[in-house]
Structure 1
């Protein structure tokens, strides 16, 4: 075997090996399990190497690489943005920083109820609850009449431990994002929302189909296999329905 092959093999084994943390004393069982998952997760290490703020960056990268939901010059809203990894991807894909002078410059507005460090090229609204009218009015004011090409939502509620309540809460978040997206969507715009599998998902899909040409369930490879999360992708905004007299 060559030395290069041995180095690659060694790195792969290290990234995929299960790591047991040594600082678990006094931590709850759920905290211990989370730490163990983080240390054993190859996407966590990969995010550090590629300077992404967290592993969730790879979920959006996979979605955009396959479905091309963002392009230079686009206006993108990132809901539930903290710590900012999706905003990093959106800012790069839309050329929001203007780093590529030969391409159109996009606009990215990211919002989260938590405070988080700004992302180069993006407008960051930390400490702001997207679901509140005040936050949505702030975004409208920033855009000053611009229509939105893509709305992203990786929002999830704090877990209560009550499965049905948690599912109800994340579905409520999805509807809040959908209503906002529809109100400001440009023609053929796109929407991505995170959801946890539950009985209300088919209705949410049907409601999205009222406004988008197609709606697809996506489970990125970087989503943990034991997680019930997946994403609904709505592509091709076709306008709002008109009711007759």
Structure 2
């Protein structure tokens, strides 16, 4: 009798990667993890630009801020996975005629390949007047400001933690300048003990602040996401 080779009902076989000459062991481990990551495979199958798309999908499934008609600003949007999710959920392409049409504005330091339904601008959001330019491009204020940004890794855990908290605080201050009353701020942070001041700041400005680690966030990562809803204006 021939063996069942369809894969149905069988275990997924893990891909093993040999360490090539000249390649660091850490690089080999990263590559092996990528090849065996179910979210990487799903992203490829569903046309997303990276596995991070599932983080914002899972956060939105829980908090429902990417609603049809919403105006969204994605800070540090490269490679574009979060924009792709936002375009579909806020109906930026007008594909659902019975729903309001939203807008998605992507901001990044580097050039980003075009995304259907999103307007991408190359800008340092830390520049003076960046909030005014964003409101001009958006034609008003935003309902959602979101950020999956992370500072370049230094290899020192505490330093990296402080850097990403500073980046998140900067993103929060920009959000204060562009959000509509009742708006939402979503950003990545790294757990590490220095996020207390950020939490206090957000609790002053928003009616509710939650800290979440979505399933798509790797278990060995210290990242989590802060979701602040109900901007007080």
Shift of 1:23: 6.7
Q: How does 1:14-163 map to 2 (within 5 A)?
A: 14=12, 17-22=13-18, 24-126=20-122, 128-133=123-128, 135-144=130-139, 146-163=140-157
- RMSD across aligned positions (CA): 1.9
Corresponding residue number in structure 2 for 1:218: 212
Corresponding residue number in structure 1 for 2:197: 203
The TM-score, its normalising length taken from structure 1, stands at 0.87
SS at match of 1:111: strand
Change in CA separation of 1:136 and 1:21 when aligned onto 2, cut-off 3 Å: farther
Residue segments in structure 2 that go unaligned for 5+ positions in a row:
none
Residue segments in structure 1 that go unaligned for 5+ positions in a row:
240-245
SS at match of 2:8: helix
Corresponding residue number in structure 2 for 1:9: 9
The TM-score, its normalising length taken from structure 2, stands at 0.92
Give the count of matched residue pairs: 230
Alpha-carbon distance between aligned partners in 2 of 1:89 and 1:71, rounded to the nearest angstrom = 11
Shift of 1:129: 2.5
Q: Choose 17-26 or 56-65, whichever is displaced more.
A: 17-26
Alpha-carbon distance between aligned partners in 2 of 1:35 and 1:131, rounded to the nearest angstrom = 33
